[in-house]
Structures are given as C-alpha cells and as structure tokens.
Structure 1
Amino acid sequence: MNTQAHLPTRNGLDLVMMTKTVEALQNDPALAQFEFRASNQWVNGGENRSTIRGFFGAGTEDDSRTEDFTFTNGEPPVLLGNNEGANPVEFLLHALAGCVTTTTVLHAAARGINIRKLSTRLSGNINLEGLLALNDEAQVGYESIRIVMDIDADCSDEELDDLLNFAKDHSPVCNTVCRPVPVMLERA
C-alpha cells in the first residue's frame, strides 16, 4: 500500500512536515538561520556561469543535492552578447517570481486556502544610462518591477488580497529587492 497517497497535503505541500518544521523553529529559533551560496566563473564577454549546490540550514550543512545547479548568464546582441542565457536582471525577475509564488502557496496552505491555478507575469524597467555611467541622475538597476498574478483559489477576494499582501511582505527575494541590503564586494 502506498502511504504517500494518504498524507495530508494542500497545494502540493506536506502539511504534517510543515507543522513539524514550524514547531522545530519555534522550539529552537537558531534552526531558522540559513546561508545560501553561489559561485560564478566568467567565460567570455557578457557570458558567465553560476553554480549552486550546498547550503547551511536547520543547524547543519545540507548534503541532499548530489549535483550542481548551473545557470548561464548571457546578454542579447543589443547588449553585446550572443544570447548565451538570460541576463542577470532577467534572472532577478525569475527569482522574484519563484519566491513570491512559493511564499503565496506556502501561506495559502497554512491558512487552509486551496489554490487551483497560479501564474505570474513580471516586467521591470531599467535605464541603462545608470549602468553605463552616462547620467548621474539615472538609477542603476530596476526603476520599478511589476508583478501581475493570476490566481484562482477557494477564498474570498478579501482573503486573497490579504494573502497576496502577506506574501509580498514575507517573500525573502521580494524583501531583499524592496529594502537596502548590505552587499560587500571584496577581492579573494
């Protein structure tokens, strides 16, 4: 008999494991401290590759990943590249979409809300004069990012609005983008 089929889930998340995780963090807040890592190697021009594998979390070094995740960063020809991959600011949109989506799904499950469908579209506006130091008034990086979420869930519009506001406020990537975060750049 397959016991997996009988585990209580909501939105694809194991509710028993979610409860145990929350209880473990409430009992030992130090378990909530994580360190994620990435390494990057320049290839040529605007092409470079990031590799992600290990991280520290829940009080230990994680060894659940047996292979690296590799992501190629590139640029379109108009930005002197050859479309080797999405460019880093596009990866930022990917990270933001993924984090807001996962945060929404997680907190919907915790609130007893079943999601039937969820998709997002993101767009961001950048003035390259900032990157190229052509205009001291131009902001470096995104001037604004818009997330449009299409969600169908078994709750009222008011509950859905509350969930989405909560998810925006509790998404780690969204919060990293929305507030100043110290970044140190140093030589090896």
Structure 2
Amino acid sequence: MTAALLLLAGGLGALQAATLLAALPFCLIMLMLAIGLIRQTNADLAGITLSDAAPAVGERLRRLLVPARRDDILRQLRDTGEPALRSVYEALREEGWTDSELVLTEDAIALSVGADSQRAFSYRLTPRSRPLAAYTALEASEARRSVAWYLAAQSSVGTRARDLTDLTVEQVKADVVAQLERWRLG
C-alpha cells in the first residue's frame, strides 16, 4: 500500500529514496558487526581474550571523532599504565620472581621477568602515532596527514603492538597477566 502511494506521488525515484532511507539503520548495524568480527578475529590471532569491560560509549565516540594527542597518551601512561605494571611487578616479587625489573622513563614503562635466564619476558608500554585517513588528494602523502596517538603495548610473546588506549588499570593488568601466561606456556 505504501509502495503504491510512493509510486503515485513521486514515481520510482521516491520509492528508491524511501528504500535507501529504510535500509540505513541496517547498514549501521552491519558495519558494527563487521568491526566486532575484525576485532575478535585479531584478538584470536594474537591469543588474547577481549575484556567485556570497555570504556564508556561517550569516551569511545570522543576518541573516534577527536584523535588523541601525545600529551593525552603520556597522561594515560602515567595514570593507568604505571599503576598496572607496578602492581604486577610487586605481585611477581611477592611470588619469588626476584629477577623481575620495572623500568620507568619519561615516555615508556617496561616490565621484564627472567632477565637472568635465556628466555626472558618483556612488556613495554609506549605512546605511538599513526596517520589519520586521507580524505583528499592533498592529504594523501603521510607527511601532510595529521596523526592520532595511542598507547601501545608490546611484549616479547607477541609480534604486533596492541592498542590499550582508554583501558582501565584492571584491564591493563589483565593484558599483562595474559601475556605472562602465554610466555610461561610457550
């Protein structure tokens, strides 16, 4: 009935426009499903478990729309990364891992375990940048593009750096422990 009214009112163009408008919410749902699939696949390949406790929706949207600056990531490194790695370091020392070491620098935090053995474990948090997407031909070269900063976690177990931006202290600790488990089992 509605399709017949649209055909009478504006012809095939009106019917096509209404169909596209009705499909838009489904496109957004499909896009979110694709992002979730890619995210979970990458986590499976890296051998990590994604935490259910993600940052608030408002924080995630802000991060999508306004890229983080280096100062934001350094603040997060100091406020989130340092307490998390310090907590894991102290727990390791209490468990008898006396050859563990925590190194703090201005722009990095590194935890190493088993430095005296041949197969040592290392976990490092550093700020890294990546170029934003180019939307015009003028922005195509990387030298002209703006950059977004993120908190990168690199361990001796995994080869790729993981993005830990906006995670809580507990989530960072969980990531460190997951990487330690992979190191011990591998």
Higher strand share: 1
Instruction: Please give the TM-score of this superposition, normalised by the length of structure 1.
Output: 0.25
Larger relative contact order (Cα-Cα within 8 Å, sequence gap ≥ 6):
2
TM-score (norm 2): 0.25
